[in-house]
Amino acid sequence: RFDSIAMAAPDAILGLTEAFNADTRPDKMNLSVGVYKDASGVTPIMKCVKAAERKLIEDETTKGYLTIDGLPDYREAVREMVFGDQVPSERVAIVQAPGGTGALSVAGGFLARQCSGGPGGPLRIFVPTPTWANHNAIMQDAGLLVENYSYLGSDRRTLDFDAMLEDLRTKPKPGEVVLLHACCHNPTGVDPTAAQWKAIASVIAERGLLPLLDFAYQGFGDGLDQDAAGLRTILDHVDEAIVCSSYSKNFGLYSERVGAVGLVTASAEATKASLSQLKKVVRSNYSNPPRHGAAIVATVLADADLTASWKEELETMRLRITHLREQFVAGMSEQAGAPDFTFLLNQKGMFSFSGLTPMQVDELKNKYGIYIVGSGRINVAGMSEDRMDWLCSAVADVIGN
Ligand code: PMP
């Protein structure tokens, strides 16, 4: 029975990490997986997180199950952070989920069960080209039909906004779902401008589409508030939306699996019914979410000092990424014959599309032990200030060949 099972293809990004770990070269560098690293190459635990954990260990009295929708204080903190006073609380259903991935999966399950597609067909969700590869897998598994809309231009550096808008105007039918990266688009780092967000929001509203915002990198682009601007614009234009948020990156809680679904409805009654259906999806899947990570976020955000410390630490991470980007661009400009990389300065967040070809990516791995995803996506946070000259000359070398 199990003898005939075929091997699944390894995950393109996590597979690279396995190869990286097995690489014995001491000067190897991992620019593939989307994890923040500090100057010493470590993914640190934030001080505010450690402080919250100490408090939790002292105060925690039970390991009993959470309710299906999660920790109340966490859900309230998420509501405030994502929706603030923009949407009245009775119009928002929040469900804690295991990471942004879990949130997307719960949202997909809810949509597949509760929202109909065309006659006889599954509901369609439109994702940008390119997008985080897991979007396709998660939404397909949930039972949605995944379609694409244009996003990155043929220069592979900028948004092809006309093509994007044209696709949103013509491809999805009213009621169908459009997935948008709220900020720090993964894998390209290319985000719409404020004016472009307005035009996107108008088309979504005019056409009666349902926006699903993937909000995994708040605080990594231009700042906590600034990174919510696109989401705010969308919410200004529609009565119904879904926001899947993740606190893996901005709290550094990757392995604790902290995320949430925030579902905006047009009425208090719709909120209650939708929440009950979201809970059904959770119940038959993992029953109820893990406590620890959500309790950390709730503890930090309930304490003014810890919140201030969190914002400061997050800002330090954001500025480090910006600085590395600038340093890389400057470093490349000093390499004789290397192309201009200034376009990287317009890209936001941890990732950038470098324009490196699969062959160049391969050569960087084989010759230098520098690991980059085949698409040329670079995790800027994996760079090292001290080794920037080495990195730039390696990149120049493979481009020159
Ligand atoms: N959405 C995007 C765009 C992501 O890049 C990621 C993480 N790589 C997620 C969602 C999921 O995040 P989490 O690790 O919290 O599941």
Which two tokens mark 398? 């493979």
The mean of the pLDDT values for the chain is: 95
Domains by residue range for the chain, with CATH: 12-45+306-400 (3.90.1150.10), 65-302 (3.40.640.10)
CB of residue 32 inside a 6 A radius of ligand 1? no
CA 102 – CA 75 distance, rounded (Å): 15
Q: Which long-range contacts (CB under 8 A, 24 or more apart) does 77-83 make?
A: 77/297, 77/298, 77/301, 77/302, 78/245, 78/260, 78/262, 78/297, 79/262, 80/301, 81/218, 81/245, 81/301, 82/215, 82/228, 82/231, 82/243, 82/245, 82/260, 82/262, 83/235, 83/243, 83/262, 83/264
SS3 percent helix, strand, coil of the chain, rounded to 5, is 50, 15, 40
Distance of CA 65 to the CA centre of its chain: 28
Distance 132 CA to ligand 1 centre (A): 8
Question: pLDDT tens digits for 341-379?
Answer: 999 999 999 999 998 999 999 999 999 999 999 889 999
What confidence tier does 400 reach under pLDDT thresholds 50, 70, 90? confident
Residues 154-177 have a mean pLDDT of 95
User: pLDDT tens digits for 39-56?
Assistant: 888 899 999 999 999 999
Mean pLDDT is highest, among 258-262, 348-352, 386-390, for 258-262
pLDDT reading at 118 higher than 80: no
Chain centroid, CA 149 distance in Å: 18
Is any atom of ligand 1 closer than 6 Å to the C-beta of 293? no
C-alpha 134 to ligand 1 mean position (Å)? 8
Q: Is any ligand 1 atom within 6 A of the Cβ of residue 96?
A: no
Residue 256 clears pLDDT 80, i.e. is over it: yes
Q: Residue type at 82? A: V
Q: Is the CB of 98 under 6 A from ligand 1?
A: no
What pLDDT shows up at residue 391?
A: 96
What burial class does residue 167 get, using C-beta atoms within 10 Å of its C-beta: 0-12 exposed, 13-18 middle, 19+ buried?
buried
Q: Are 164 and 151 in contact (CB under 8 A)?
A: yes
C-alpha of residue 28 to centroid of ligand 1, in Å: 25
User: Which residue's C-alpha comes closest to atom 4 of ligand 1?
Assistant: 216
List residues with catalytic annotation.
132, 214, 249
